[in-house]
Amino acid sequence: MSYNNKDINDLSGQYQNIISSCVVNDKEEQTKIKTIAQEIDRLYMLLRLNGIYNSNNYQEISYQLNNDLRNRQVNEYRQIFNEILTIRIKEARSLSEISSLLEYDRFKTRGYDNIDRRPLRYFFARVEKYICDNIGKEIENNVHYISTKTGYKTGYHIEHIFSRNEENKKFFHSEEEFENQRNRLGALLLLYNMDNIISNNERYYNGKRQTYSNGLVWGRTLIDSFYHKTNSRFLEFNQKFEDISRIKFTQIEEYNAEKLEYRSKLLYEIVKQIWDINLK
At residue 199, the pLDDT reads 57
Number of CB atoms found within 10 A of residue 20's CB:
17
At residue 11, the pLDDT reads 83
The full 3-state SS of the chain, as one line of letters, equals CCCCCHHHHCCCCHHHHHHHHCCCCCCCHHHHHHHHHHHHHHHHHHHHHHCCCCHHHHHHHHHHHHHHCCCCCHHHHHHHHHHHHHHHHHHHHCCCCCCCCCCHHHHCCCECCCCCHHHHHHHHHHHHHHHHHHHCCCCCCCHHHHHHCCCCCCCEEEEECCCCCHHHHCCCCCHHHHHHHHCEHHHEEEEECCHHHHHHCCCCHHHHHHHHHCCCHHHHCCCHHHHCCCCHHHHHHHHHHHHHHCCCCCCCCCCCHHHHHHHHHHHHHHHHHHHCCCCC
Its pTM stands at: 0.95
At residue 195, the pLDDT reads 59
CA distance 227 to 221: 8
CA distance 243 to 245: 6
At residue 276, the pLDDT reads 98
User: What residues have CB less than 8 Å from 244, skipping those under 6 apart?
Assistant: 273
Q: Pairing relation of β-strands 156-160 and 188-192?
A: antiparallel
Q: What is the mean pLDDT of each run of 10 residues along the chain (280 residues)?
A: 68 87 91 93 97 94 95 95 98 96 98 96 98 97 94 90 94 97 98 68 82 95 97 98 98 97 98 95
User: What residues have CB less than 8 Å from 42, skipping those under 6 apart?
Assistant: 81, 275, 276
CA distance 262 to 220: 16
At residue 26, the pLDDT reads 87
Residues 89, 101 contacting (CB under 8 angstroms): yes
Phi-psi region of 109 (alpha: psi -120 to 50; beta: other; left: phi over 0): alpha
Which of 88, 116, 112, 115 lies closest to 102, judged by CA?
Answer: 88
At residue 6, the pLDDT reads 66
